[in-house]
Structure 1
Amino acid sequence: EGRDRIVVSHGHTSPGVYSVLAELGFVNNEEAVSSFRSTQNLFEGHIEREIPGVEWTTGNLGQGLSAACGMVLGDRIHGREIQAFVPMGDGEQQKGQISEARRFAVKYELHGVTAIIDRNRLQIGGDTDEIMPQDIRAGWESDGWHVAEIDGHDATAIYTTLKAAGEDKTKPWCIIANTVMGKGISFMENKAHFHGVALNAEELAAAVEELGEDPALWDMAPLEDRRSRRLESTVPTLPVVENSLKPGTAVTYSAETKTDCRSAFGRALHEVAQATDAVSPPIAAFDCDLEGSVKLGAFHKDYPNHFFQAGIQEHHTATCAGALSTCGVTTVFADFGVFGVCETYNQHRLSDINHAELKIACTHIGLDVGEDGKTHQCIDYVGLLRNIFGMRIFVPADPNQTDRIVRYAMTTRGMAFMGMGRSKLKTILDENGQPFFGADYQFERGQVDFIRKGQSGLVVAMGTPTGQALEAVDTLRQEGLDIGLAHIATPDFIDPAALAEIARQPFLATVEDHSVNTGLGACLAGALFSTGHAMPHLRIGVENYAPSGPSTEVYKHCGLDADSIREKVQAFALERQ
């Protein structure tokens, strides 16, 4: 805690990183050499956070500066100011996320962030100015950074410039270190070929001779022997940051209340913060110009120093929030689903690789986006997020379940996605007309909530369409068809005992405003099959991109209104008789 950070953005410079760490005693040099880029340990081709001295796993270029911003913010929330140095390549300056991070750093006065660019003017394909011309200096200066150019081979210049950057409390610095790739070895200088190619034995001998080094120190035989032995090493695990948040008291919306899940999310988030520490809770929230829509207003009002408005810069925001979440600050990234999941999938994947604790809260998921149309309908979030091994998916049925899911996700460890629609929903009621997810309801990941019990078949819904599915099931029951209804909020993890109960039904119908190919239906079918169960299964969901219009009309167009669900389930039931 409180240490300065070095976030190496161009992770492919791993041999240099491992060599320096070995020289400083962080790692064993023989282990690094013997198993570099092998499966024996973590000395991978791109640097890994599990290695002592490595702050952030990188390799996806352009994300290191965003991560450094998150780390500096993390210490600031804890009452500390640190320095974060970000070595970068010049080729990666072509990435747009770097521009997003530059603007964010200036807005939030992250003067402790210093970037240093290896300006060798080469990338894999050749000259950087030929592949994609850009004025690197002008770009950084236009975003408000102080830029210094130095000889990148002059150690004294590097030190004095870094020292000056650290002492400047008025703006962040970018140091452009002009270098020559392969400097000092004539056949390597300014050759893009050697960007990622090791020397063979003859080339190594020639290079060593030209450098005036002792050839005995560079004898290939001992190196090859080390690699043939592939020494296994013990790499320490990352420290566990415990979650200290308090859930507060759950809120129950009455049977008569009609509100939206996103408002329930905003209220629950605010109350978790209040219950934990009314003055300065270890919570941060990021917004991308949608504060009113994603309901962060109350949190922003009471905790302005924990709220970060990043503008329409989702890629930077996702990485910055992910990095901040590793600093003992439970971090929420709130956005519309199509931006918070589809647009930023790679950033979330890298956060998971870095063992982040990010909580992603997305509104406007599924078809429930109002008149915004197909470009804004996030109908593939389950399929995408299931690919992230550390992600937990939560899709509540109504505001009451939303309240409890938010409190659960915020107070438990691990990455989490909370998905909500836009519209105001009726409270889901039990058969006695009381809130099903009411005062006595306790949420646990994996559970299946059986809202109606039946013997003639089972409808299983997820998220916003649950109310329409309930209306359809109640009508069928009144017509004499003993159909049950269940809700699954965690499609990625379903309790095996509940699966066995589902499998006892004559047939199954799943209802979701998600792609039928990768959502609840696919998850449930796979889970049933994996546990040895097979049953007739009707999938009701989104089968193509939907048009623009009021949500009620869009759901009807897609066959997800109560009447359409009733007709489809009834027909499927009759086919089974």
Structure 2
Amino acid sequence: MSAISAKFPVDLKSFKKLSLDYKNPQLSQQQREDLLHNINVFRDAIVAFTATGSARGVSGHTGGPFDTAPEVCILLAFMNANPERFVDTFFDEAGHRVATQYLLSALDGHIEPDHLLNYREAYSKLPGHPELGLSDGVKFSSGRLGHMWAMINGVALANRSKNVILLGSDGSQQEGNDAEAARLAVAQNLNVKLFVDDNDVTISGHPSQYMKGFNTAKTLEGHGLKVFRTEGENIDKLYASVCEIVAYDGPAAVVASRKIAPQIEGIEGESHAHDVIPVAVAKKYLTKRGYSEDQLKFYDDIKAQKYQYEHVGASKDVGANRVIFGESVNMVLDKLSKEEAARRVMVIDSDLEGSTGLKGIHSAHPEVFVPSGVMERGNFSAAAGFGFGGNGERQGVFSTFAAFLEMCLSEITMARLNRCNFLCHFSHSGVDEMADNTCHFGLNHFFADNGLLDTAQTNLYFPADGEQMKAVVQKVFFDKGPKFVFSTRAKVPYILKEGSETKLFGDNYSFVPGKEEFIRKGSAGYVVSYGDMLHRSLDAVERLRKEGIDVGLINKPTLNIVDEDAMQVYGKTGFVLVVESISQKNGMGSRMGTQLLQRGLTTKYDYMGATTEGCGGVAYQIKHQGLDAPAVQDRIRKIAGRNGLYSLYYGPQDVLQQGKKERSVVLLNTAATDENSFLVKGLTAYTEGTVDFLKPSFVNGMWFLSSILMDKLRRVTSPSKDRRDLNRLSLVELNRHFNERPLPL
């Protein structure tokens, strides 16, 4: 939310509108110079604005779009010359290369070039993956890695006379979807044309090292595609190959080999070039390309995004639960010999070890670690298979992003049918700090619990902080059956004991699967939460308790098991509010109302969760969903009483009648959720004679009593010489008196 207004340093008006005929595979000298000029402009622009993602701390992915600039520029020239031969969209199955799409939008005039400098900023409409309908000029939604080809087969079926372009990579081609898509494209002779950036780099390293035997070109040839191998940085060879593929009738691919981020000193050929280019490296590259210091000083004005809020009841220090998961597994493995660990445990990665906590396991216990590629379905099944028939002694461990849980549903059923023993860690749950935006939200955790009621229990665990993560993993690691543990991309603070700086889930804490935990006890009603929303809910609860609203808080770290004893407690209070950051449609909140009714508990009920597409950036996703702590406070107030909670002002009569301020006036918030509890709590003091005068009001400053409450007051109050006779006052008179002479606070 800190958009900058600076001049984009790259002159996009200098980008030439070339028209090249793909039937002529030889470039003239002038055509070659013009094409190289366009490639340089394109690459300069990619470096310039993706580096702003580094400056503002939202990542940005420079290497991929930088690599494919030559292919894109060639194809643009072909489209200019023969538009009728192409579907005019650069579909990309590696959505993190979205910088290509935003630059094309700017070149087409859909967005101002200067706006590119707000790349990945919250509310800039330039999120981390292309989203149809959000960003001006963007023509498709990429979704998740390796999911595009199957869909554009349908586009090709609808446009048989046209070439349909798909930008790919040696990472995206590892996804199993592409194998099915390739077979259909070949069988139907579809004019799908792949342009694969074969740079031998993915997030975790080099496919040639961790996926020995995998060869993108040979794989595509095996499916029946016509494949043209070429050198990505040799413009003449690349141009000739692109001409051949476009002229070819049927599905074909150009596999362009190159080092990632060619000629960018400091990141060329390195794995970290997959992510965003550091500002210093970008400035060095652009300076070498002829840009002045003055043109690049805008980087100094960009600051990292922060949502400033201090949560009450939680620590100031934070921990990364997704990393602590790996540390927790190591605590289990450290108790075993290397030989026993290798025999009993297998941990398999899906090219995300640095993001999901497995890197620590890889480092400390290489004997159990299996590096693998972008193949979630197969890797999950391998983990489950390792635990097949082991009677709980063997455990397969699998980890990926929570968004990708949806890809594994059939495999989860298969593992359950075979009574496999496995532990899954799904990081990047919910929406917090998800710069990749909507397609990477981890929303549907309950999909994992997709078995029948008479099958083995499938437990879903979502620890609230790093200490609870350690306790959960160590407790359940060798349990039989399916086990799922969730964490967020964002770091979370530690939950504190009431009135203390001591961590609640520290040394003396013992995790009990299925047990719901009373974080704060209350009488008015309860908030039920878990995971990253627990500290936000705790803040709301603590602040409202200071206002006198006696609301309690339940932590439910086992998401899908009802704690009967706990539910009988909170289900009999004034309200229950579920607060979570996963899908409101499919989360815990959509279930608990039914669970309460099944037990004859008819308290007021409401629930909060993720409901809308993302806003981009990292700092404001939670607030954008209406899930920040102040929003939780507002929802508690709403469910507790439509117009606010009843409060009681009381003091000696002469304070009210004469306005004397030298005598004290006490404010008692009853935390009442209805008029009955108002009477029970508030009138006790009045009728027992412990106060001289009672003045009801609402916390929002409206001073009145309802006619129903007046009737109840008259029934329970006995006029006497030392009591105001409420029977002699009409409702109008009483309200007028209160409004004209409010008690001093």
Q: So what's the TM-score if we normalise by structure 1?
A: 0.56
Structure-2 residue corresponding to 1:345? 409
Letter in structure 2 aligned against 1:313: M
CA distance in 2, matches of 1:355, 1:296: 25
State the shift of 1:270 in Å: 0.7
Among 347, 354, 377, the residue aligned to 2:418: 354
RMSD in angstroms over aligned alpha carbons? 3.0
Letter in structure 1 aligned against 2:401: F
Helix, strand or coil for the counterpart of 2:538?
helix
Structure-1 residue corresponding to 2:639? 572
Helix, strand or coil for the counterpart of 1:523?
helix
Task: Check if 1:276 corresponds to 2:276.
Answer: no
Structure-1 residue corresponding to 2:481? 414
CA distance in 2, matches of 1:563, 1:446: 29
Structure-2 residue corresponding to 1:243? none
State the shift of 1:317 in Å: 0.8
Residues 186-335 of structure 1 aligned to structure 2 (within 5 Å): 255=315, 257-281=317-341, 282-326=344-388, 328=390, 329-335=394-400
CA distance in 1, matches of 2:412, 2:350: 16
Deviations 1:335-369 (A, max 9, x none): 11112x11211111111111111111011011124
Structure-1 residue corresponding to 2:449? 386
State the shift of 1:534 in Å: 2.1
Distance 1:305 1:564, change over 3 A: same
CA distance in 2, matches of 1:280, 1:439: 27
Deviations 1:173-232 (A, max 9, x none): xxxxxxxxxxxxxxxxxxxxxxxxxxxxxxxxxxxxxxxxxxxxxxxxxxxxxxxxxxxx
CA distance in 2, matches of 1:381, 1:533: 26
State the shift of 1:523 in Å: 2.8
Contact 2:604 2:639 in 1 (8 A): no
CA distance in 1, matches of 2:209, 2:467: 40
Contact 1:342 1:378 in 2 (8 A): no
CA distance in 2, matches of 1:393, 1:541: 17
Would you identify which runs of 4 or more consecutive aligned residues in structure 1 move more than 3 Å? 90-96, 104-110, 133-139, 254-257
Structure-2 residue corresponding to 1:479? 547
CA distance in 1, matches of 2:222, 2:322: 43
How many pairs are equivalent? 344
Letter in structure 2 aligned against 1:392: N
CA distance in 2, matches of 1:279, 1:258: 35
Helix, strand or coil for the counterpart of 2:335?
helix
Distance 1:105 1:289, change over 3 A: closer
Structure-2 residue corresponding to 1:424? 491
Contact 1:369 1:377 in 2 (8 A): no
Deviations 1:417-443 (A, max 9, x none): 000001111110121322111222211
State the shift of 1:444 in Å: 1.2
CA distance in 1, matches of 2:388, 2:208: 19
Contact 2:545 2:551 in 1 (8 A): yes
Structure-2 residue corresponding to 1:459? 527
Contact 2:525 2:570 in 1 (8 A): no
Among 462, 474, 499, the residue aligned to 1:395: 462
Structure-2 residue corresponding to 1:537? 605
Deviations 1:283-319 (A, max 9, x none): 1111111111111122112322321111111121111
CA distance in 1, matches of 2:597, 2:438: 32
CA distance in 1, matches of 2:641, 2:181: 60
Structure-2 residue corresponding to 1:508? 576
Distance 1:422 1:109, change over 3 A: closer
Letter in structure 2 aligned against 1:378: G
Letter in structure 2 aligned against 1:381: H
Contact 1:491 1:519 in 2 (8 A): no
- Out of 491-500 and 272-281, give the one that drifted further: 272-281
Unaligned runs of 5+ in 1: 1-89, 97-103, 111-132, 143-253
Deviations 1:230-278 (A, max 9, x none): xxxxxxxxxxxxxxxxxxxxxxxx9554111112211110110111224
Letter in structure 1 aligned against 2:427: T
State the shift of 1:95 in Å: 9.8
Helix, strand or coil for the counterpart of 1:401?
helix
Distance 1:570 1:266, change over 3 A: same
Structure-1 residue corresponding to 2:698? none
Structure-1 residue corresponding to 2:429? 365
Helix, strand or coil for the counterpart of 2:413?
helix
State the shift of 1:472 in Å: 0.7
State the shift of 1:334 in Å: 0.8
State the shift of 1:527 in Å: 2.2
CA distance in 1, matches of 2:383, 2:632: 40
Contact 2:347 2:369 in 1 (8 A): yes
Sequence identity (%): 25
Unaligned runs of 5+ in 2: 1-178, 186-206, 214-219, 230-313, 643-672, 675-745
CA distance in 1, matches of 2:579, 2:356: 25
Structure ID, larger Rg: 2
State the shift of 1:502 in Å: 1.5
State the shift of 1:109 in Å: 8.3
State the shift of 1:106 in Å: 11
Contact 1:465 1:511 in 2 (8 A): yes
